[in-house]
Amino acid sequence: MKDILKALEADPKTTPDQLATMTGKSVTEIKQTIAKAEKDGTIVKYKTVINWPKAGEPEVDALIEVKVQPQKDFGFEAIAEQIYRFAEVRSAYLASGTYDLALIVTGKTMQDVATFVTHKLSPIDGVQGTATHFLMKRYKEDNVIYDDNDGIARLVITP
């Protein structure tokens, strides 16, 4: 099953016929494996990665670290759920280190992200502090390398 999942993760448009050829399994077996993985939650979603700035839709991404006070009987779960339900939050992780949660937040402008932090995130009971890091350039995401170097020629540095 791992070989099927890896192939679908790399390209969700891979057909059962192609997977059968790649793995040596029957098309029926491939379809059954995929259906089972979808049903039990192993396959969570099929995803297309879009380079939004190239599509003419600029966006600003930020990594936001959040320090929270864990809640009695719930730990981090309840506050994390309250935060990850905001539409601006693309990803949310429990993290080790100085901060407890790491969020990837998207807005159309830096001001949109700042407004999210000040008006929605910071006022939540239990949020003790945040640190916002604006992501300046995307090099790689979901194993996709963005090869657009903006036409900037870099000088070669030699020792």
pLDDT digits (tens, 9 = 90+) for 11-66: 999 999 999 999 999 999 999 999 999 999 999 999 888 877 788 887 899 999 99
Average pLDDT over every residue of 117-124: 97
> Greater confidence, 158 or 106?
106
Instruction: Calculate the average pLDDT of the chain.
Output: 91
Domain ranges within the chain, ordered by starting residue? 2-39, 60-139
The dihedrals phi and psi of 115, each to the nearest 5 degrees, come to: -65, -40
Predicted local confidence at residue 48, as pLDDT: 84
Q: What is the 3-state secondary structure (H, E, C) of the chain?
A: CHHHHHHHHHCCCCCHHHHHHHHCCCHHHHHHHHHHHHHCCCCCCCCCCCCCCCCCCCCEEEEEEEEECCECCCECHHHHHHHHCCCCEEEEEECCCCCCEEEEEEECCHHHHHHHHHHHHCCCCCEEEEEEEECCCCCEECCEECCCCCCCCCCCCCC
Assign 155 a pLDDT band (cuts: 50, 70, 90): low
pLDDT over threshold 60, residue 152: no
The structure's pTM equals 0.77
User: Which CATH architecture describes the domain 60-139?
Assistant: 2-Layer Sandwich (3.30)
pLDDT of residue 132: 97
pLDDT of residue 105: 97
**Amino acid (1-letter code) at residue 106:** T
